[in-house]
Structure 1
Amino acid sequence: MPSESAHKIHICRTVSLPDPVKLTRYLKVPEFGPRILFFSGGTALNPLSRALVRYTHNSIHLVTPFDSGGSSAKLRNTFKMPAVGDMRSRLMALADQSVKGNPEIYNLFAYRLPKDEDREKLKSILMRMADGHHPLVRSIHDPMRKIVCSYITAFARKMPEDFDLRGASMGNLILAAGYFSHNRHIDPVIFLFSKLAEVRGMVRPIMNKYLHLVSRLENGEILLGQHELTGKETPAIESPVQEIYLSSSLKKPAPIYPRLKEKVRRLIQDAELICYPMGSFYSSLMANLLPRDAGSAIARNECPKIYIPNTGHDPEEKGTNLRQRVEILLYYLHQSAGKKHKDSQLLNFVLLDKDHELYKGGVDVSGIERLGVKVIEAPLVDPENRPFLNADFLLERLLSMV
């Protein structure tokens, strides 16, 4: 414990990228690895997360709960709750899948009910799981099996008669049941979920609220819901994004500016490195920065802040180049802060592959650095998986900055 007279001082230092000594230390004792915080959502960060657990068990993942597409949208719309699919996906990416973990729990949480069975058959499968008779549940040892069964039973009781179970993720259903059981609070069930699946990191929603992502395009079109923006379930947007905001209603989609909870602000302020990673530019990254106080919490933390742009195609980035995307990132960070901060308090570095052809719209290094942001170029893509970033190449640079 620090003494009462302990105080903080600011130290500047030079680091090597990569730093083999640091990396060896983290690999040897990941339990004491660094607190790297990621603002993200979706699945783009999952490959990196699976590699990350070899280096640190202390990473922090703030995930958007505004997803309005896919199977988690059924839960979100039926129960007026935050979307849990991206949280479940990240928890699974961080779970210990070795013999030291709980593979039986992992297998259940990763299981999806069949898409081609009728309603009665799907209900029968769910009730077999609730009773502990389904092979996936029967393989789990007590007392974990009893806990899992109690949550599945709770969901079955809460589920409307006409709820569509086709393709439903069991992990999502269990998270939803925990949300109900804990008076519509998601953190307690995520904590339990993390313990059961031996998750090597912390996953939290940026907000525990049922809110909607609204997008206004430059052509005046208004898109209601995250799924309308991503180009996955609907056609890709035909006009660049002008702005995004949160709304409590889709009938009257007026902007609202909810505040972060104090515990989320503390997570941001205590991180040893803050990363704005690859992923859907607006719906995964910018959406996380919409709540008030996110920017001010970032500004109060003097750790390095780094942006990792997408390689390849992201339909949400239509009409922008990399310098413009850096400017957009800074815009939303400042908007969230609510008061004046220096750009350097919000963003310090952009980490790029040396092959600039990977980046949509081109790369203007001097233009980015005129914004006060240092560009770091390194080999991040291997030829076999081009244009996707190699998780190990990327982590070697990120971890060396802590």
Structure 2
Amino acid sequence: MSGITGARYVVETAAERLAREQRAQWQQFVQVRGELEALRAEAEAYRSVYGSRISRVAAGARARPQHSPRRIAAATADVALLVGRERERLRTEVLAASRQDVSGLLAAPAAGAARPAARPRRQWDERTVAEPDTRQRDDAATRAAPARADAAAQEQHRARATRAAELLSRLPAATPDEVRAPCAAAVAEIAAGAPPSRAHLLLRDLAERVTAQQRAEERVALARRDLLTIAAPLETVPGDAAARLRKRVARLVADRVDHVPDGLRAEADEVVAQADRARRRKAVADAVRVGLTDLGYRVGDGFDTALAGAGVAYAAMDGDTGYGVKVLLDRDDPVIRTQVVRAGSARAERAEDAAAEQKFCDDYEVIKRRVRRAGIPIDQFGQVDPGRQAVQVVADEMIPAQAHRAAGQQRRQGL
């Protein structure tokens, strides 16, 4: 063992496990919440077309990233159930409204439908004789044929109009007016009785337009899912950088983009990773502070904050020897380093330096065990034996005990 050490750590505290579980559940909740928000917007867009015949979609259960994983999971299940139910209801209402809009035209006879020809009334006189039965049957069949043809034409007309109404109902709610208007006009023309050849052309064009809009909507939906996947972890992260990215993602979702901008995912991942590293450094700093103070080391106010933030903090060894320990945490890697230091005002021989290093070596083993019990195992990878290198000399104010003594001397001199 030595007075200079290097070790890797893994944070497996209860708080860290809870944070991981919360984030995993929160990501699922954000996805279903995004589906619900999109469905609510879709319903409002359809209401602008079909009016109050389309019902509004409820807001659904709410949750926060800080809630327990079980509570977040329950909210996710509730919202997912609501989305499935409301999506089916919305689809039914839109189809019914579309059919209702053409029902009046469907009730009118088709413009191009065949009409039974008017038959001249036969004039009878006393010389007329009764027609044979076969001739009567042929005459009845001749009169019935136009009626059957007319009924068939009406049925085909109704089928075309119904098909047109169904296609129109599949048009996404966010379809721009310049696309929806000609689609609605085509449906009206078909329902009004467009000739079969014209109606078939209109139906084919309508189907192509609807398919194109559905594919565009699928691209928007896919981009929205990707954006929500990016945004979900950001909602669990504090700080201005995460807040700015959340706002940016929200604008992209509102603008209905059909792709994720290059570099956005990597930028968000880095912000989340930095926050995770900072949280773990804070956990390590807290555990080290407790381990040091339990063994009689003195730390200044904000020791753990300085160690987690700036990456370096000092603790004084017990007594007024002028020795202390410098603790360092890497910002990007899970590495902790320690080094015995001496205040500049303290005068000591090499043997005293080695003794101070040896004392910390013995204490360090105890500190590692206590930190491990807190859920942070430490795996040492480097050491320098006591006395092999000169002890680093630091300014007195770096070591808490020396800083306290200097402040006391200044107060006494002032008196």
TM-score, scaled relative to structure 1: 0.20
Q: Between Structure 1 and Structure 2, which shows a larger proportion of helix residues?
A: 2
TM-score, scaled relative to structure 2: 0.19
Structure showing greater radius of gyration is: 2
